[in-house]
Chains A and B, each alone.
Chain A
Amino acid sequence: MTGKQLWSWLAVVFAGLYFLLPLVGMFDFSMRMQRGVYSFEAYRIVLADPQFQQTFGYSVALALLTIVIGILLVVPTAYFVRLRFPGLRPAIEFITLLPLVIPPIVIVFGYIRIYNTSSVLPLTGSWWGTNILLLCGYAVLSLPYMYRSVDTGLRTIDIASLTEAAQSLGAGWARILAVVILPNVFVSVLSGAFLTFAIVIGEYVFAALLNVNSFGPYMVWMGGNRAYEPSALAVVAFVITWACMGLIQLFTRFSKFSTARR
């Protein structure tokens, strides 16, 4: 092993330890609920808790709906900006980055002020209205990730030629988007979608201030009231996130056609 290689390995090992040690510590702690033995007792309690099942299911549903809204909002926007208004791209990119700069609490306070029960559109007054607000808020939070990944995906295909080819064959805009554009940026849409999923699953501020019983507030409540279960819950959350990342890789690798090889 040459000196150069040694240093490279040292750097990798150091980084690995930096990331893994806290996780190992957390996992170890979550296994020590029963005195003197290693067990999955904390996991059993968490997974059997009806509150966990209810809030987790609810958050998964919210995340999936957010992804659908995100796709419907972002794919046509990114496509038309690239195709027709390329000059607007910096402005649109800036707008989509705003959710990273403006704290969610500002957005949700804005919502509550505008849509409270004494307003013209009292969305916070009903279960449906609150959920709609929550979905809109989550769609905004996911914008930076969704827009960026879709825009990057669009860059790898010649959308102008593909669009014109489809038009010359008689296709209208809806068909072009659904049959030609979306499938070709599907991998990018998926990576945006999984990031959205990861954000929405653990989101706390929106849910807490809109008084919605989702997975984020449940985790916080758990953290404040139990000892071992929160660690188990954190490990579960990590596994879910990693599974999402793994799925992105899988889809990228095994997608039927490759956009890279053209």
Chain B
Amino acid sequence: MAFLDIRHLQKSFGALRVVQDFTLGIEKGEFVSFLGPSGCGKTTVLRMVAGFETPTSGAVSIDGHDITGLPANRRKIGMVFQAYALFPNLTVADNIGFGLRVAGQGKAEIARRVGEMLELIGLPQLGSRYPFQLSGGQQQRVALARALAPRPQVLLLDEPLSALDAKIRVSLREEIRRIQRDLGITTIFVTHDQEEALSMSDRVVVMHQGIADQVGTPFEIYNRPATRFVAEFVGTLNLIDADLVDAAAGHVRLGGVPVTLGRPAPGRAGERISLALRPETVALGRDGGDIVLPGRIAEVHFLGPVLRVRVAVEGGGFISLDTFNQADRPPPSVGAPVDISMSHRDLLVLAA
């Protein structure tokens, strides 16, 4: 049994079933992200683990102890909220020491631990400030320190970076990951931002309509998406229609060009199927792989380090590709004829 064990969790609000049969085991010290669009049930699962929502059915246990019926204040779970939720009437030090005072620890011990936590979050001189005197990033660090101070068994992070601006978001997510690794604390991180989920996590759970669509390492999730939803939600994707020639042998025709997938494809011969392709696996020119398609440049977007080029493929459809920006080579001009190439191994055959 995993350290944090979530079994067959369901939650309905009236007739609406928000979470359907969610099962997941999280090992001690693991960092797992729940990724999905709003309304997919990720926060509801988190709140059921925290004890703020009662599951309609299912169970949650930590280290072998069933905590499903335990009130939130007896679960020993630390939580960080999107809106920081610092107590405005208490100083930073008193906020961090709140959980320790509740636990009835001595003044000296509280002061020592608060000092330690302030060091950990890199704000040792701000103990006497009030929350309103801090920036958003500082407030969220204090909220993290407050959640960690009583040494919880599990840390829950509910979109903690969503309210911050882009630069601070990146630096804080690195810091959260560093602290989590240093302390070895089991963590669930809820986010709708795929970059956050992919960059921080040991494993990612992609959620869709109350179900875990796929659970895997960021590498697996990105490169081997199990469903069409995961493929579309995580990263940018080309969806290409292909005509199935031989399902068992994996022969298809792509814009008139015969292609061997190297693995069986679902469906029957003569049907149209969807293939997916990441923009970075397609190359301009004929050297990018065994499949070469002729086309014409339709659009060019300059993104700084990367150019995103949209090519109208002969035989119908568009394929977007990413190519590095090179200062000595001007971007291709719209309307110019071009060949694009890719490897059959990068073509993803998606389940519906």
Contacts and interface: CB of A to CB of B under 8 A. Distances in A.
A and B: interacting chains: yes
A169 B102 contact: yes
B103 A184 contact: no
25 contacts: A157-B88, A162-B85, A164-B79, A165-B85, A165-B87, A165-B146, A167-B51, A167-B52, A167-B72, A168-B50, A168-B73, A168-B77, A169-B99, A170-B73, A170-B74, A170-B76, A170-B102, A170-B103, A179-B98, A180-B89, A184-B88, A257-B88, A257-B132, A258-B132, A262-B88
B119 to A, nearest CB: 20
Given A161-B83, A164-B85, A184-B89, A170 B150 contact: yes
A158 B83 contact: yes
- Ranked nearest first, the 7 interchain pairs of A and B with the lowest CB-CB distance are A169-B99, A161-B85, A183-B89, A165-B85, A168-B79, A167-B72, A170-B102
B132 A168 contact: no
B137 to A, nearest CB: 15
Interface in A219-260: 256-259
Contacts of A57: none
A258 B89 CA distance: 8
Interface of B: 50-52, 71-79, 81, 83, 85-89, 98-99, 102-103, 130-132, 143, 146-147, 150, 156
A171 B88 CA distance: 17
A65 interface: no
Given A161-B81, A257-B132, A168 B87 contact: no
Q: Chain A, interface size: which category?
A: 20 to 34
A113 interface: no
Nearest to A186: B89
A169 B146 contact: yes
A261 interface: yes
A60 interface: no
B52 A262 contact: no
B75 to A, nearest CB: 8
A17 B143 CA distance: 54
Interface in A192-226: none
A179 B97 CA distance: 13
B98 A166 contact: yes
A172 interface: yes
B85 A169 contact: no
Nearest to B76: A170
A129 B86 CA distance: 45
A175 interface: yes
Nearest to A258: B132
A180 B87 contact: yes
